Structure 1
Amino acid sequence: MLCAGGTGGHLFPAEALAGALVPLGFRPHLATDERVERYTGTFAWEDIHVIPSETVRSRSPLAMANTLWRLGSGTLAAWRMLGRIRPAVVCGFGGYPTLPPLTAAAWRKIPTMIHEANAVMGRANRMLAPKVTRIATGFADVAMMDNVPKSKLVHTGNPVRPAVMEAARIPYPDLDGPINLLVFGGSQGAAVMSAIVPSAIARLDEQLRRRLSIVQQARQEDLAAVRETYAGLGVAADVQDFFRDLPARIAGAHLVISRSGASTVAELSVIGRPSILVPLPGALDQDQAANARTLANVDGARLVMQPDFTAETLAADLTALLADPVGLQAMAANARNAGIPDAADRLADWVVKLAAM
């Protein structure tokens, strides 16, 4: 039983592990929330179980009572579901929707494991850490784990989907012709990319701008404005609100501009593409900033905090980076060297060990 919050950042690693487990004779089930429909079309799960859950959104007494009620009812539903299915192992991939099934699994004495994808341990995983059998990490050094027993920890890397492994076979594209620029903000989109990137492109030298071919993710409400801006600039651009073939788009890019969620950083590393990473601001734990530093520290990416991410600074960064093909290729190689392409297999090995307990 694989448990994940219903966003790409949580579901994609679960899908990757499921793909590694099927050849070993496992039949993966998925426990998640109602957001799942958009992201689970690429894997034939044995079954998908939507479990009631809630994220802590407010400290008001009413909101907290609602959250506790939803998590409590979800735990009871998970208890009954686990009794029917009797899984050998229950694995969680972060997010509050993993709390009910992992808690119920611990109560039932089923071997459990959580995977922490980020370089800072998430709140849901911190709550589960005392209850579970093993804790796998995506990064070698993870903050907010001071109270976690070292005996529980194992570093596996972040599992990536089969589509990412396919994309990793594609060599870095030649820079003789068009320059392919990919822009996205994670599975939920990012308004800041729509606000900043087109304005930065408008500030580029016209000769450089004519060479650009842009693929950009934008929120539904921003699509028309972003498309109109690029059309007015005469820039070839494919602007959509979601790309199901994002790994292939990453492989085709000379440079990526994106947020720095754990799955994004893992995919950029395994495929090996240079990037400008803009961490999501305002997060209490600053996990995306920590993720981005792992690539910036090895010169595989340029880290730009959102207050510094302006049209002027981005135009300057693009001008400098795109004028240095050798430097871009070196960044791509550095990113690739930081990747762990067999993370799903490493995690699957631990599932096998837990199943034998």
Structure 2
Amino acid sequence: MSKPLILLAAGGTGGHLFPAEALAHVLQRRGYDVDLVTDSRAARYAGHFPARQVHVLPADTVRSRSPVAMAKTLFTLLRGLLSGLALMRRLKPAVVVGFGGYPTLPPVLSATFSGVPSLIHEANGVLGRANRLLAARVSAIATGFPNILANEPDLARKTIFTGNPLRPSVQEAAGLRFDAPEVSSPLRLLVFGGSQGARVMADVVPQAVARLNGDLRARLSVVQQARAEDLERVRKNYQDFHVHAEVAPFFDDLPARMGRAHLVIARSGASTVAELAAIGRPAILVPLPNALDQDQAANARSLEAIGAAQVMAQSTFTPERLAAALSTFGADPRALTNMAQAARSAGTLDAAEHLADVVVHLAGGAPIATYRGH
């Protein structure tokens, strides 16, 4: 007898792929087959995804409101929808789970048109545009933050707060104790800006370090992610300032490095915020500016509100302001310990198990209204 198949739809960025990967591990342990449906961009990063098969559907993102660009995007999504309908007929999945982003529109819509139970997971503190388009049609909605749909009763009735699923590497890093720094001991700084790095980090962080007093600068040990075109500039800056630094375009062991850090400086994507909370590390967060949904700002505020992070808008994220913050932490490392404890209090370590419970409930043919929780 063949195992039930769960089809996970995720694409575009690691922020969508990582929670899908975490769910896939749990579902496989529970005896389900798991396939991944994604777009060509994310397929390149799905080599370690624990899927039986990877299916690539045509997908595109709304990049411009010009009639030509909108028509092109619509045509691509229509092609993806037709391919998705064929995929539903061929695979006959028990449930289709979407993780946000335009690449999930074709497979999840195909599931709703084909009568297949469907679930979307919203990792951010606000509902994203793609999930907003799908929300009324799907069988259930899972969220990474509580009460994000409290003001929309029709959607709230089928919404379950699960938290954001964490990859096994994050679960492992969550077991690392926070090694509180002393005033005279090394201070380990981790800097990254999303899966591809961020130029603002390359522009601001080394210049902030240059403004620190010599004693604090000598204590610093920096691990920084930087884009390929910024690598040599960032490395030379740290060399000129006599700061020990490891700079690379990508770290495939980022959760472990987060676990060894005393302070993280990063964007505030949903996965980053969930991982900071699970591992319990203090952070200075710089939300991506000008996002239509302002999702990263909402994510960052959730940690700031409990004293686990400082939030700096990119417009005010200057070398002078960052240097002042680093100097304060260097002089009073107890503040970092308090922030780490606050972050840990917000961690949801069993989110993947909880989300799997919801998926299994739907796979059994039961409506979400009868789900009684984790």
TM-score band, normalised by the shorter chain? over 0.9
**Which string of whole-angstrom CA distances, capped at 9 and with x for unpartnered residues, describes residues 161-216 of structure 1?**
01000000111124243211000001121110000000000000111001111000
Give the match's secondary structure for 1:39: coil
- Percentage of pairs with the same residue: 57
What residue ranges of structure 2 are gaps of 5+ in the alignment?
1-6, 366-374
Counterpart contact for 1:13–1:161, Cα < 8 Å = yes
Helix, strand or coil at the partner of 1:194: helix
What residue number does 2:318 align with?
A: 310
Q: Which residue of 1 aligns with 2:141?
A: 135
Cα separation, 2, equivalents of 1:97 and 1:145: 27
Deviations 1:198-253 (A, max 9, x none): 00000001110011110001111101100010011111111111111100010010
What does residue range 67-216 of structure 1 map to in structure 2 within 5 Å?
67-142=73-148, 146=152, 148-176=154-182, 177-216=185-224
Structure 2 counterpart of 1:157, one-letter code: G
- State TM-score, norm by structure 2: 0.93
Displaced runs of 4 or more, over 6 A: none
Q: Distance in 1 between matches of 2:29 and 2:309?
A: 35
How far off is 1:144 after superposition? 9.6
Asked whether 1:335 is paired with 2:343, we answer yes
Change in CA separation of 1:142 and 1:77 when aligned onto 2, cut-off 3 Å: same
Residue 49 (str. 1) matches residue 34 (str. 2): no
Query: What is the alpha-carbon distance in structure 1 between the residues aligned to residue 41 and residue 172 of structure 2?
Result: 26
- The TM-score, its normalising length taken from structure 1, stands at 0.98
Give, as a single letter, the amino acid of the residue that structure 1 aligns with 2:305.
N
Change (3 A) 1:91 1:302: same
Q: Report deviation, 1:332.
A: 0.3
Contact 1:75 1:104 in 2 (8 A): yes
Conserved 8 A contact 2:97-2:120: yes
Select between 254-263 and 176-185 the one with higher mean Cα deviation: 176-185
CA distance, structure 1, for counterparts of residue 46 and residue 246 of structure 2:
24
> Which residue pairs with 1:39 in the alignment?
45
Structure 2 counterpart of 1:330, which letter?
N
Aligned to 1:265: 273
SS of aligned partner of 2:147: coil
What SS does the aligned partner of 2:33 have? coil
For these two proteins, the number of residue pairs brought into alignment is 357
2:196 aligned partner, one-letter code:
Q
CA distance change for structure 1 residues 43 and 238 in 2, over 3 Å: closer, same or farther? same
Rounded to whole Å, the distance in 1 between the matches of 2:177 and 2:270 is 23
Equivalent-residue separation in structure 1 for 2:172 and 2:44 (angstroms): 21
RMSD of equivalent CA atoms:
1.2
Q: Secondary structure at the match of 2:165?
A: coil
